Amino acid sequence: MPTVTTRDGVEIFYKDWGQGRPVVFVHGWPLNGDAWQDQLKCVADNGFRGIAHDRRGHGRSTPVWDGYDFDTFADDLNDLVHALDLREVTLVAHSMGGGELARYIGRHGTDRIRSAVLLSAITPLMLQGQDNPEGVPQSVFDSIKQGIVTERSQFWKDTAEGFFGANRPGNKVTQGNKDAFWAMAMQETIEGGVACVDAFAATDFHEDLKKFDIPTLVVHGDDDQIVPIDATGRKTAGLVRNATLKVYEGGSHGIAMVQGDKERFNRELLDFLKS
């Protein structure tokens, strides 16, 4: 399997499809690079090189016990970019991956980065607080962690409903969407699952977003039940210079995987890549 070895010896699995200007996809939690298969094919079919890796502790990467923080994730991404000697990269990140993208730019700059796409991203801060009343209460994150350690298989089945908006009237979510979510979630280590909740709940990305100096597309569903748009997408678009916000009416957290929104996102991604 194609892997990159990080500075601390972790093996990061990646897919690498097509030829042309590189587009690196960063997956959300609790998924892995397989979540981007539709987009990988889309960009590779249209003259770009699509790359998607599995975060440490997820999918086929090393199932480590520690390192589940955004400085480490960003450095892992930097190791991938340098190992493959990628330049003029467009980074595309979903959910928790949006924090990884933001922290990468905060720590490593944009010398190798051409543009960025933040899809249903957790930036700038998820946790509810006095300065972030639109955020998610700590009790919700505590409940997520409890669900993982109590019975993670059933927890992931239950979580898939809200992730894709399968609990909304007239939704286009398939059983296949939910099964794929469960299969990827079960490949994540249980320690990674719990530790990532603490990381994406409380990490503040305000300063990272202020360092963006590249064209940035922010895409978010206004019915995202996992990462509320008012706490994240709208604020991110206001903080990032050169940002364009696209709001998907009725869009769930799993925009890139559900029919209808998926095709729209693929079209708008290609338009952005070609601009």
Q: CA torsion, points 205, 211, 215, 219, in degrees to nearest 10?
A: 10
Angle ∠(60,193,74) on CA atoms, nearest 5:
70
Catalytic residue from among 27, 252, 253, 261: 253
1 has pLDDT over 90: no
3-274 fold = Rossmann fold (3.40.50)
10 has pLDDT over 90: yes
* Whether the Cβ atoms of residue 144 and residue 240 lie closer than 8 Å to each other: no
Is residue 139 among the annotated active site residues? no
59 has pLDDT over 90: yes
Is residue 108 among the annotated active site residues? no
Is residue 95 among the annotated active site residues? yes
Residue 117 CB neighbour total at 10 angstroms: 28
Catalytic residue from among 95, 115, 120, 252: 95
Domain boundaries, the chain: 3-274
Angle ∠(55,68,106) on CA atoms, nearest 5:
80
214-266: pLDDT as tens digits:
999 999 999 999 999 999 999 999 999 989 999 999 999 999 999 999 999 99
Beta-strand relationship, 48-53 and 11-17: antiparallel
What pTM was computed for the model? 0.98
